[in-house]
Amino acid sequence: MVELRPYTSKVNIILYNDKTMTETEIAEKNRSELKVGDRIKSFDFGRIGKFDSFIVGVVKKIAPTKFCGSECDHIHLEAEYAIPEREEIAGRMYYPHLGNHIEIID
C-alpha cells in the first residue's frame, strides 16, 4: 500500500529542477503541463530527497481520490514498472500528488 499525504502546505520549500518552489507551486506547474495519456516518472515513492526510486506509468486522469480531500488532486497513474524493481506493479493504479516531483518522458 502506498502512503499518501496532502500537498496543502505552502511552507515546504523544495528544490525542483534546480529551482526552489513550494509544493503548491509544483502542483500548479504539474497541473498546467500534464495531460491524460502522458507517460511519466513519479518520484514520490522512494526515499525523501533521493531521485533513485520512481514509478513509470501513464496518466489516466487528474482528480481527487476518495482517500484524500475533495480539493486535493492526484495523478491517477497506471503503472508500467518501478525502479528499483519491486513486486509486479504493471497495471496497478497509483495516486501521486500533483505537488510531487514528476517528469514527463513521452
Report the chain (106 residues): mean pLDDT per 10 consecutive residues. 43 56 85 94 63 86 87 91 83 89 86
Q: Are 97 and 34 spatial neighbours (Cβ–Cβ below 8 Å)?
A: no
Confidence (pLDDT) at 59: 96
**Long-range contacts at 79-86 (CB < 8 A, ≥ 24 apart):** 79/55, 80/39, 80/56, 81/55, 81/56, 82/45, 82/53, 82/54, 82/55, 82/56, 83/52, 83/53, 83/54, 83/56, 84/52, 84/53
CATH number of 13-104: 2.30.30
Confidence (pLDDT) at 6: 45
